[in-house]
């Protein structure tokens, strides 16, 4: 795991504790590390119309953007899933990560039992969509 993982995990756990998931009871938390050392949490936020649910990863990234950060400023993302099973980021989150994180940036998921899985953004979304320049 990364040198900063132990700092990011408690923030992701707090994000999961703050999640709004009254329909699925599937809380997820995330934390991101920015190049300047700032760490930002994210929580999933459900809606009665499930398609409008906002994932923790995208909420953390959106919070960074709202604070003035740009694509490439995010160094690492930690995802905490307080459930027994391990999960990976959804497709929408993978696409957003591919725009805001470097292709070699680490994405680490941890479940309730402490199992860990690590990917790079490129591994999560090979040949991801990007607008032509």
Q: What are the structure tokens assigned to 65, written together?
A: 């953007």
Catalytic entry in 3, 46, 57, 133? 57
Q: Is 112 annotated as contributing to ligand binding?
A: no
| Structural contact between residues 105 and 74, judged by C-beta atoms closer than 8 angstroms | yes
Respond yes or no: is residue 57 known to be catalytic. yes
Annotated ligand binding at 55? The verdict is: yes
Query: H-type helices in 18-85, by residue range?
Result: 56-66
Is 93 within any annotated ligand binding site?
Answer: yes
CB contact at 8 A, 107 and 119: yes
Give dist(CA 77, CA 59) in Å, integer.
12
Strand order in the sheet with 101-111: 39-43, 29-34, 74-81, 101-111, 116-120
For residues 11 and 85, what is the distance between their CA atoms, to the nearest angstrom?
A: 20
Specify binding-site residues.
55, 90, 93
Specify binding-site residues for Zn(2+).
55, 90, 93
Positions annotated as catalytic residues are 57
């Amino acid at each position: 795991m990364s040198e900063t993982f132990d700092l990011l995990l408690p923030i992701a756990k707090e994000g999961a504790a703050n999640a709004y998931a009254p329909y699925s009871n599937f809380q997820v938390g995330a934390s991101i590390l920015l190049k300047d050392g700032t760490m930002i949490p994210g929580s999933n936020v459900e809606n009665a119309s499930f398609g409008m649910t906002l994932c923790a990863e995208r909420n953390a990234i959106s919070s960074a953007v709202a604070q003035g950060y740009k694509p490439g400023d995010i160094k690492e993302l930690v995802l905490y899933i307080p459930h027994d099973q391990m999960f990976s980021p959804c497709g929408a989150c993978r696409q957003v990560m591919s725009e805001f994180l470097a292709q070699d940036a680490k994405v680490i998921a941890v479940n309730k039992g402490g199992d860990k899985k690590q990917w790079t953004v490129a591994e999560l979304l090979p040949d991801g969509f990007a607008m032509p320049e």
